[in-house]
Amino acid sequence: AAPVILDGDPGHDDAINFLLALASPEFQVLGLTTVFGNVGLERTTRNALIVRELSGANVPVYAGADRPLVSPRISAEAVHGQSGMDGPHLPVPARDAEAEHAARFIIRQVRARPGEVTLVPTGPLTNVALAFRLAPDIAGLVRRVVWMGGSTDTGNWTPAAEFNALADPHAAHIVFSSGVPLTMFGLNVTHQAIAHPARVAAFRALGTRVGEFAAVLLEFFAEHHRERYGWDGGALHDPMTVAWLLRPELFVSRPMHVELDLTGGPSAGRTLADVWRVMGRAPNAEVVTNVDADGFFALLVERLGRYP
Ligand code: BDR
Ligand code: CA
């Protein structure tokens, strides 16, 4: 099985991504690592612990950065609620996170398995950037970083910037300029997969605890998307990362050069993607452009259906 580390800020869609990976025997999930993002680190970590328990998996959880490297902290209670995972009943987790910092855990695991570990960040890139700064050798030892964040077109937190990119643009810059093999799932593709009511119903129809948990998460997540975009459901961003590792044929991508806007102006945090290669610079990311949304949701339902 392929060793992966899932790094996120759960987060409705982060939670579903964790559940997708933990249900899939193709992966050896080395750990769940958490970062500030949708809400503060304490809450994203608690949510990861809750998801771990729901999954029944015996996988360690490591807390990481509680703030960005340089920019002021932002958060997304308006989208994810005060807990960061509003909707379902959230029990008090029985087991705690490990003591080691997420960045240290990442370094340790990557060095122990050179060339093998895939990092799957679905929040701000702060933990990955910290790991790359503490241990510059590991950028060359990571198999691939598969990130949900950015956009080749418009943003969702400013007209130019997507939330995960804006939440720590300097961290994103460190990762995008590190030379690590990198796949980017921006809003340009994640907005193609809307969890509309019929898709939510398919999770509920599983008739399991995990199926119901996912359905309630998606119903809460839909509210913001109805108000803001007028869509009949939430855009299921984060699970595309793990879905791509499982079924790349559901997606279309192309190599591009992507640069973070660190200028602090109105487009700060933008992932400026050279779609037409007008700058002639060597690509630093495989940018995903299209998804077979029905196939993606079918995969999710099938995998979450594996939980008893
Ligand atoms: C991203 O921001 C968060 O709200 C989601 O979990 C996702 O990772 C989408 O912009
Ligand atoms: Ca996220």
Span 18-39, pLDDT tens digits: 999 999 999 999 999 999 999 9
Number of other CB atoms surrounding residue 176 within 10 Å: 25
Cα 124 to ligand 2 centroid, rounded to whole Å: 8
Does the beta carbon of 224 lie inside 6 Å of ligand 1?
A: no
Contact criterion met (CB below 8 Å) for 165 and 260: yes
Best residue among 125, 164, 168, 270 to mutate for probing ligand 1, ranked by most atoms within 8 Å of CB: 164
Q: Ligand 1, closest atom to CA 9?
A: 6
Does the beta carbon of 164 lie inside 6 Å of ligand 1?
A: yes
Does the beta carbon of 101 lie inside 6 Å of ligand 1?
A: no
Name which residue sits closest to atom 10 of ligand 1, judged by CA. 163
Cα 239 to ligand 2 centroid, rounded to whole Å: 9
Does the beta carbon of 38 lie inside 6 Å of ligand 1?
A: yes
The stretch 6-13 carries a mean pLDDT of 98
What are the tens digits of pLDDT across the range 216-273?
A: 999 999 999 999 999 999 999 999 999 999 999 999 999 999 999 999 999 999 999 9
170 is catalytic: no
Kindly give, in sequence order, each residue whose CB lies less than 8 Å from that of residue 215, ignoring residues fewer than 6 positions away: 200, 201, 203, 204
Kindly give, in sequence order, each residue whose CB lies less than 8 Å from that of residue 94, ignoring residues fewer than 6 positions away: 53
pLDDT at 263: 95
Cα 112 to ligand 1 centroid, rounded to whole Å: 30
Q: Ligand 1, closest atom to CA 123?
A: 8
Exposure of 151 in the CB half-sphere (CA atoms within 13 A):
23
Cα 61 to ligand 2 centroid, rounded to whole Å: 16
Q: Rg (Cα) of the chain, in Å, rounded?
A: 18
Catalytic residue among 12, 101, 173, 237: 237
Q: Indicate if ipTM > 0.95.
A: yes
Confidence of residue 285 (pLDDT cuts 50, 70, 90): very high
pLDDT at 209: 98
Question: Is the overall model pTM greater than 0.80, yes or no?
Answer: yes
Contact criterion met (CB below 8 Å) for 187 and 158: no
